[in-house]
Amino acid sequence: MAEANGDWLRARGIGRERFAGYLADYLGSIGYQVERVETTEPAGTRVKCQLSRMSPSVPPAANALEFRLYPTSGGAAVVWEAPREVPSDQRPRMDRLVREMESHLERAVHTESHATAKVVRPPTPHLPWSSSTAGEAPPGGASTAAL
């Protein structure tokens, strides 16, 4: 089901608005100007970010980010909307940024909820630029890029 929706991350035991707040707070802390837009039909939150304070950990392809959050039964899901493409020379930095974001969101949600809520990755999290990358691990195999 997550593959069909293009989910990047899911949260269990925490609402969409609160999860969007954690995402916006983190992005603001690393130098982004964040804009949140709530919609009612369909219920959702759109988070748009523009890098305003340069950081060596943020690749140029990530100067503008966009996410869509929607409610799920028992939580919320995040779809990574932009950027859609990342040049191959920037992918390692982008992958690191994604891992740092995931790690921060996991810790923040776990800590704030006193371990009653959690962030989970779908079996195959969807990132728009990772659908056909060279050096990707085959299903069930190890990546040679990590060696």
Q: Which of 108, 123, 99, 140 is nearest to 10 (CA)?
A: 123
What are the boundaries of each domain within the chain? Answer: 2-129
**Does 142 have pLDDT greater than 50?**
no
Structure tokens at 58: 């943020």
Model confidence over 60-96: pLDDT tens digits?
Answer: 999 999 999 998 888 888 888 988 888 999 898 898 9
Mean pLDDT, all residues of the chain:
80
Determine the Cα–Cα distance for residues 24 and 10; give it in Å rounded to an integer. Answer: 16
pTM: 0.78
For residue 38, what pLDDT band results from cuts at 50, 70 and 90?
confident
Structure tokens at 52: 């305003």
In the DSSP assignment, the letter for residue 18 is H
Model confidence over 82-133: pLDDT tens digits?
Answer: 888 889 998 988 989 988 988 888 888 887 766 777 888 877 777 777 754 4
Asked: is 2-129 a CATH 1.10.3470 domain? The reply is: no
Determine the Cα–Cα distance for residues 79 and 46; give it in Å rounded to an integer. Answer: 10
